[in-house]
Amino acid sequence: MIPPLFLLTIKRSWHSHGRSALTQYSTLARSIGWEPWEDKIMTDYITTNGTRWVDLVQHCLPHKSTNGCKMRWQTVLKPNLKRGPLSPSEVSLLRKGVDEFGLGRWTDIVEKYLPNRSPYQIHTAWKASADPVLVKHKRWTADEDAKLMAGVAEYGVRRWMKIRLKYLPHRSHPAIRARYLDYLDPNRRTTEWTADEMAILLRRTVLYGVVDWAKIAEGLEGRTIKQCKSTYLKHLDSTRPRRGMAWTSSDVKLFWELVRIHGGSWKEIGKHLSRTDHECLVLFNTTLKDELKILYPADVVKQQPDESRPAWKRRIGELMVNHLAHRVRGRLDTNRSLVLTTPKDPDSSNKLGKRKQRWTEEESERLEALVKEHGTRWDIVALHHGTKSAEQCGNRYRNVLRYGQGGSSSSDDDDSTTYIHNQPLTETEKELIIQGVDMFGHNWTAISKTYLPQRKPHQCRRWYLANIGNTQQQHRQDGNDDDNDNDDDPTTSILAPSAAQGLSTGKGRWTEEENERLRFAMDEYTTDKDHTDWAKVARLVATGRTPYQCRQRWETSLSHSIGKRGPWDWNEKMQLVELVQAKHMAENNGNIDMSKKSAWEDIAKTLNTGRSAWSCRNKYDYMVRTGTLFKS
């Protein structure tokens, strides 16, 4: 951060060319952007003293120019500044202002017609789209292409404004530039990407990130920025695994929810859906053309005069969300007029109120059918269910329906066990739960089936975790007062439940005592190098840890075969990203399955830094989840 110069003693010195050091520093400061402390100084000064630009520069920001401060305030810091593209009504006011004041009088136009816009905004909008002589969304003709090539031959490939003024005044200069670089450039390659080019593209995205596409394209002769970006998103981007897949009904519902929230920011929406920006844009335009224009009148679907483009997309998203939620259907009658119909739903009048009511038999049956169709993705199940939340659906299935209660049985066996509901546990049942924990640890399903067949696993677990701190400790103390012979039994000391000893109950960090138990269990039950009975290991640990937890702890922390540990350095992370993305390329070609352990073992072996396959996979998943693939 550049220190505030007005707090420092500045000594004037001259170099051989006659320019002061302060002048040199001011030039540098103007070119490196604005710091937060500079914005705060300007905001506080203008709030107190108004827009006195000369005094502001002299007393507070001597390393900035008056024009730079004025531009910063008008384009970024002004409190009532409106951002985003101009709405149709604002475009009309801009054209009216140009007719009155002429081109270049942007400050006068802002003061009279658009006080919530900056002169820079309306100038940019005029050049890009508001100028009525511009032609938008029309195909380029052969005559226009010939004029563009003549302009490039005369002025070169960087003087797009001059080419526009002389040859193509009805086209914007961004459109002219894009037409030449993406279609007419004689050095542009149109052949299929080779394996070498794909490898270079992958390495340059790892090196420069996925932001500076111009820098990436420099290393690929004949390939444009657009080609590099689209090829990476379609074939190499590992954060978009669902690209190219068919849209499911749940994907479509989530898509329109995101459109309603983000207002058509396809980059953000594609990130949430693991799809490309182009796929999201195509779905929006297709639905707008084929469905919305049939369901609603044209004046409802089109963008309103006082509505910006993002606001219009949010409104379209709201229409589609309501349409999908209420299953509205549209048709044209014999007179070609629109008729909207909604299927009758006897419960539709009180859907929201039923979220706090008891489950009906119909709701339970609907939940079972949705679980068979969508699995345990409770957000999607709740979206289709309509009357219960995701948490309610998950609790209802886990606690009731999977045992064949509360609706049609979801069990495949013929067991017709009648479970006890809404009755407290008896003292005998509590003793049986304690005995079950002694035998099975925290395997609540085994305890329920063996000791309490009329109680569900979650009932046993809930009582044990809520009361074991007092009930079991008293039970143990009473037993020790009557008979201390069990202290000499090594089996009892190993299998005794750990909660009464102050150990973990299957959650949180592993204690040192648990680590020692796990090492002892591994020595007992590891029969050979490639096989370990993790169920027996978990029972011998006897602290409520599952077999999966024991295996994960051993392979990631305690195993003697673990190599390098500790933080990953930058070079190591970048090598990992490059190797994983190369594997994803092979997976797209059908040569490898990244869900298998062998793929990650190959990556760890190729990385050759002592990291285990488990460590490589966990690190890569963490970087994808936190968006730090290309950050140091």
Check if the beta carbon of residue 6 is closer than 8 Å to that of residue 38.
no
pLDDT tens digits for 37-67? Answer: 888 898 899 988 888 889 988 888 888 888 8
Which CATH fold would you assign to the domain 358-403? Arc Repressor Mutant, subunit A (1.10.10)
Check if the beta carbon of residue 389 is closer than 8 Å to that of residue 382.
yes
Report the predicted TM-score, pTM, of the whole model to 2 decimal places.
Answer: 0.44
Strand partners, 20: 14
What is the mean pLDDT of the segment spanning 13-22? 39
Q: What residue type is assigned to position 195 of the chain?
A: A
What is the mean pLDDT of the segment spanning 394-415? 59
Q: What's the pLDDT score for residue 68?
A: 87
Q: What's the pLDDT score for residue 504?
A: 46
pLDDT tens digits for 137-157? Answer: 678 888 988 988 999 999 988
pLDDT tens digits for 233-274? Answer: 888 887 777 877 888 888 888 898 889 888 888 888 888 888
**What is the rounded average pLDDT for all residues in the chain?**
76
Q: How confident is the model at residue 483 (pLDDT cuts 50, 70, 90)?
A: very low
What is the mean pLDDT of the segment spanning 115-127? 84
Phi, psi of 20, rounded to the nearest 5 degrees: -75, 155
In this predicted structure, the answer to whether residue 479 has a pLDDT above a threshold of 70 is no
In this predicted structure, the answer to whether residue 584 has a pLDDT above a threshold of 80 is no
Judged by average pLDDT, the poorest of 22-31, 58-67, 69-78, 120-129 is: 22-31
Q: What's the pLDDT score for residue 558?
A: 77
Q: Give the integer Cα–Cα distance in Å for 204 and 220.
A: 10
In this predicted structure, the answer to whether residue 505 has a pLDDT above a threshold of 60 is no
Q: What's the pLDDT score for residue 271?
A: 83
Calculate what percentage of the chain has a pLDDT beyond 70: 76
Beta strands at 329-332 and 526-528: parallel, antiparallel or unpaired: unpaired
In this predicted structure, the answer to whether residue 606 has a pLDDT above a threshold of 50 is yes
DSSP code string of 483-518: --GGGG-HHHHHHS-SGGGT---SSSSPPHHHHHHH
Which CATH fold would you assign to the domain 1-79? Arc Repressor Mutant, subunit A (1.10.10)
Q: What's the pLDDT score for residue 490?
A: 36
pLDDT tens digits for 414-454? Answer: 445 677 767 788 888 888 888 888 788 778 888 888 888 88
DSSP code string of 143-205: HHHHHHHHHHHHH-SS-HHHHHHHT-TTS-HHHHHHHIIIII-TT---SPPPHHHHHHHHHHH
What is the mean pLDDT of the segment spanning 473-500? 41
Q: How confident is the model at residue 9 (pLDDT cuts 50, 70, 90)?
A: very low
Check if the beta carbon of residue 63 is closer than 8 Å to that of residue 29.
yes
Q: How confident is the model at residue 26 (pLDDT cuts 50, 70, 90)?
A: very low
